[in-house]
Amino acid sequence: MIYEYLFFGIYLLVGACFGLASFPYRHLFSEGPEKVNSSEQTSLLRGRFFWIMVCTWLWPIMVLTGMNTAWIISKRK
């Protein structure tokens, strides 16, 4: 039982660290048609908090999305 809590805690910790590290590059994880400059502007603290919360729970999906974006960018060059 303790291993389940440990695994869950590590999962959340890895997600939070991923969110902190990828915040400056969050535009690379978007698959939408909106450009970075035309997106809605929020405060830096609110935007960072929201990004970390999303990445904390969904970091495996965000990693796959980032890999897809990297593959698309590499094909363009």
Q: pTM score, two decimals?
A: 0.77
Q: Where are the domains of the chain?
A: 2-22+44-76
Residues 1-41: tens digit of each pLDDT:
889 999 999 999 999 999 999 998 888 887 544 455 555 56
Please, are residues 56 and 15 in contact by the beta-carbon 8 Å criterion? Answer: yes
Directed axis angle between helix 2-22 and helix 44-76, to 10°?
80
Residues 41-76: tens digit of each pLDDT:
667 788 889 999 999 999 999 999 888 888 888 888
